Chains A and B, each alone.
Chain A
Amino acid sequence: MQRIGVFVCWCGSNIAGTVDVKQVAEMLKREPGVVFSTDYQYMCSESGQNLIKDAIKEHGLTGVVVCSCSPRMHENTFRKAAASVGLNPYMVEIANVREQCSWIHKDMPVATAKAVILGRAAIAKVHLNAPLTAGESPVTKRALVIGGGIAGIQTALDIAEAGFPVDIVEKSPTIGGKMAQLDKTFPTLDCAACILTPKMVEASQQENINIYAYSEVDEVKGFVGNFSVKIRRKARFIKEDLCTGCGLCTEKCPMKKVPNEFNLGMDNRSAVYIPFAQAVPKVATIDANYCIKKKTGKCGLCSTVCGVGAIDYDQKDEILEEKYGAIVVATGFNPISVEKFDEFAYAQSPDVVTSLEYERLMNAAGPTNGTLLRPSDKQHPHTIVFVQCVGSRCDAKNEKGKQYCSKVCCMYTAKHAMLTREKYPDTDVYVFYIDVRTPGKNFDEFYRRAVEDYGVHYVKGMVGKVVPENGKLKVQASDLIANEQLHIDADMVVLAAAVEPDKSARPLATMLTASMDTNDFFTEAHPKLRPVESPTAGVFLSGMCQGPKDIPDTVSQASACAAKVIGLLAKDKLTGNPCVAHSNELLCNGCSSCEKVCPYGAITYSDKEFRMPDRTTAVRRVAEVNPAVCQGCGACTVACPSGAMDLYGFSNQQIMAEVDAICK
């Protein structure tokens, strides 16, 4: 029989205002096993905790029940207090008589009766509690950052500066990501390259950072503190250590008609290429899909001109295996394909462009060297219509588009409109919007400037149809405020396409057993309180992969993410949560139900030999839980049809005892 102490907290008037705390303490004193029961004004205060500690010592308590607020608030406080006087912290149970009782009832007798019942349930559980000890595992002091955009770069820099080694894996030939393609950044209008490229250079020079560009993650094994990752270094057909980035090969390459992805296919590059002038690492890459030598065996011009002998046509993909303590996902985003939205005639006219394409058309390193020319005839456009929310905020019943707001479009459209009016005051600029959403420091001021100082025509309403006819784009739209239909003959139409997570995110999430939402954004451990951690221990989230966000938000989150990683890597050992699942091998029938529902990949199966009653041995497939990976969610215990899975600290027996106590 346990010797249980009951401590009923008033929480000032929060509990005592609705619950007769004295009566609760009195009633619970009569429960079997309860040797001490009292109430106090603030149990979480220093003196309240001392009350508990003294009672444990004085009455030799083996279990403690605190009737107070939610265990999310102070369970840890009371467990620590108990541990300080030698009681196993897992012998402490909380009866939540605040959130689940006093705050939701008005009638004192009702609330008091309920508080007693909740106390009884906790007492019933404590009777079945057993001391639990958390296990320990070592931490590999190295981080992996997947994705080398601004999010990945910032996270890597912060971790590296704290003294831990970091590897960045980036699938394209250079780091920099989407930000490298942007012209100017809101709300300050400084040039994106000017603020990004110093960070790219810093990342390449930081001695703790190792960049694996043109590489992808092939396999992830292990768990928090002990990940083992296979990285595929894709063949560039260039020896990275020899290439000086002089660019001679790219000049001489005879295959010059490869759509240039950096400029979104609006101009061409050569088959051997360096994506842009400030690429990091600045080495060339041979595009095997277009290289004449790779395709026909003839040519080889680049290897003739290369002064350092860096060309290697026979290079093969290489697989590296590295160990990491933490993994950061920074896989970023892409604008959606607008082909499903051809009411805007994107497929029909080159003068209908996406905002990212417009960004390149405005950029000095873009296909028009920064002069705004419409793609069809290279003439200066005089009327430009911007359409917002293309594919964002769509109805769930709609056959296309995303339901969420992409968050960045209102601001970059205001930026485009303003920059266009500033550079080309003879241009008429229209912006069609559903709402203009500009929360953020200096954001609304920015948008007001576009309207008030730059004379951009903001029209509330959507564009219904764009008809290319006789060299013009006939735009039909509604003006909801004037309640009239508008017809505008435009020279260009710019579509603010919704953002979506990069396609690589979904297979990566499967490898990491990290959860995603229906839009393929990674889910955070808690939407408010743990926004940069994945529910999977040791996996952290940085940037757009977690949800739409602009550069300031991305950089903030990237640094927050780094802080969490540093916190993890600073530890020599990890103390686990002892409330994990375990399987009774004698009951397990090997059905895999638990493995399928486990969101963390903590359950594996193995064949084990068992002695049978008739003294023979039999090999059976049974489940095994890795306690370092298990987060104690309990999904497996519910899924297990034979009752073999159980959770320490929340066993089926303990839960049933609580239910029995409530229903008594």
Chain B
Amino acid sequence: MVYSYYPGCTLKTKAKDLDRYARASAAALGIELQELPDWQCCGGVYPMAKDEIATKLSSVRALLSAKEQGNDLVTMCSACHNVLKQVNHDMATDENIVTKVANYMKLDEPYRGETKVIHFLELLRDGVGFDELKKHVVKPLKGVKIAPYYGCLLLRPGKVMAFDDPENPAIMENFIKALGAEPVVYAMRNECCGGYATLEKKAIAEKKATAVMDNAAANGAQMMITACPLCLYNLTKNAQGGVPVKYFTEVLAEALGVKEEA
């Protein structure tokens, strides 16, 4: 299975763990992640501005590049995934944006959202299959109570992301089960961690992150996992409470027995 891979800036700096454990796990599962050549920033939060196409261009470059490679595009970071997928949706549905982007980028043929953007978790669920994943587990995380933390970006807007039920998701729970661990179901798993509020109003981020961690802890979580560098930051730096937080790729690599070599 060959996929184009878009790591994103944070995975090259603060969130190197998210990236390297993913690569090691993918290799163990026989998945080839081909990093896109010369990728740029996804555009951060800027493409969310509806009236501005310039901010969408960097996302389109990545999407176009994957189209040229003829591969589905795999993402790892929740935020990049959200941005790429939303821009891709615009490109598939908004003729005005398609035309403007094509003119600006001097494309021979306009890009119309042909690339399929999938998050690594979706790849594990739909491409590999959790039953198949289970067969590759060499060190089952037996007895560990893991609370999945989705945050906002993987799930919403629900119709565009089409990732899972935004109010009652199950993909990470099933992922945790496949690794032999025990998922902790708790209500705050899809609430905001505080996000960028940490830059300006730290108290809000502290309150939000703590509420999430408290709820996970109250339900018996020994560990939390996430796919988002910003969520990880807020939960480790801003939350009061000592539940360890890891990237989902780290526990994956551990269960697959490739953590040390990563």
Contacts and interface: CB of A to CB of B under 8 A. Distances in A.
Contacts of B185: 348
A342 B167 contact: yes
A399 B215 CA distance: 27
B1 to A, nearest CB: 30
Interface string A461-495: 00001111110000000000000000000000000
Contacts of A470: 218
B86 to A, nearest CB: 15
A201 interface: no
Interface of A is mostly: mixed
Given A399-B159, A469-B215, A347 B188 contact: no
Interface in B40-71: none
Interface in A355-400: 399
Interface residues of B, number: 15
Contacts, number: 35
Nearest to B187: A467
Given A399-B159, A470-B218, A340 B165 contact: yes
A339 interface: yes
A341 interface: yes
A468 B218 CA distance: 9
Contact of B167 (A341, A467, A468, A469): A341
Contacts of A466: 187
Contact of A342 (B158, B168, B214): B168
Nearest to B157: A399
B45 to A, nearest CB: 22
A465 B165 CA distance: 15
Interface string A327-355: 00000000000011111010110000000
B165 A469 contact: no
B17 interface: no
B114 interface: no
A341 B188 CA distance: 14
A345 B185 CA distance: 11
Nearest to A466: B187
Contacts of A342: 165, 167-168
A469 B189 CA distance: 13
A259 B168 CA distance: 24
Interface in B153-170: 158-159, 165-168
B72 interface: no
Central interface residue in B165, B168, B185, by most chain A CB within 10 Å: B168
A67 B218 CA distance: 80
Interface string B191-228: 10000000000000000000000110011000000000
Interface string A504-534: 0000000000000000000000000000000
Nearest to B159: A399
Contacts of A341: 167
A394 to B, nearest CB: 13
Contacts of A348: 185-187
Given A339-B168, A342-B168, A468 B158 contact: no
B158 A465 contact: no
Contacts of B168: 339-340, 342, 347
A5 to B, nearest CB: 59
B24 to A, nearest CB: 34
B159 A469 contact: no
Nearest to B191: A465
B33 to A, nearest CB: 31
B165 A468 contact: no
A190 to B, nearest CB: 38
Nearest to A341: B167
Contacts of B158: 399
A308 to B, nearest CB: 49
A501 B165 CA distance: 24
A348 B219 CA distance: 11
Nearest to B166: A399
A468 B159 contact: no
Given A348-B187, A465-B187, A466-B187, A343 B167 contact: yes
Given A399-B159, A469-B214, A345 B187 contact: yes
28 contacts: A339-B165, A339-B168, A340-B165, A340-B167, A340-B168, A341-B167, A342-B165, A342-B167, A342-B168, A343-B167, A345-B187, A348-B185, A348-B186, A348-B187, A399-B159, A465-B191, A466-B187, A467-B186, A467-B188, A467-B215, A468-B186, A468-B187, A469-B186, A469-B187, A469-B215, A469-B218, A469-B219, A470-B218
Given A339-B168, A466-B187, 12 more contacts: A339-B165, A340-B167, A342-B167, A342-B168, A348-B186, A399-B158, A399-B159, A465-B191, A468-B186, A469-B187, A469-B214, A469-B215
Interface of B: 158-159, 165-168, 185-188, 191, 214-215, 218-219
Interface of A: 339-343, 345, 347-348, 399, 465-470
Q: Which 9 A-B pairs have the closest CB atoms?
A: A342-B168, A342-B167, A467-B187, A399-B158, A469-B218, A399-B159, A343-B167, A345-B187, A470-B218
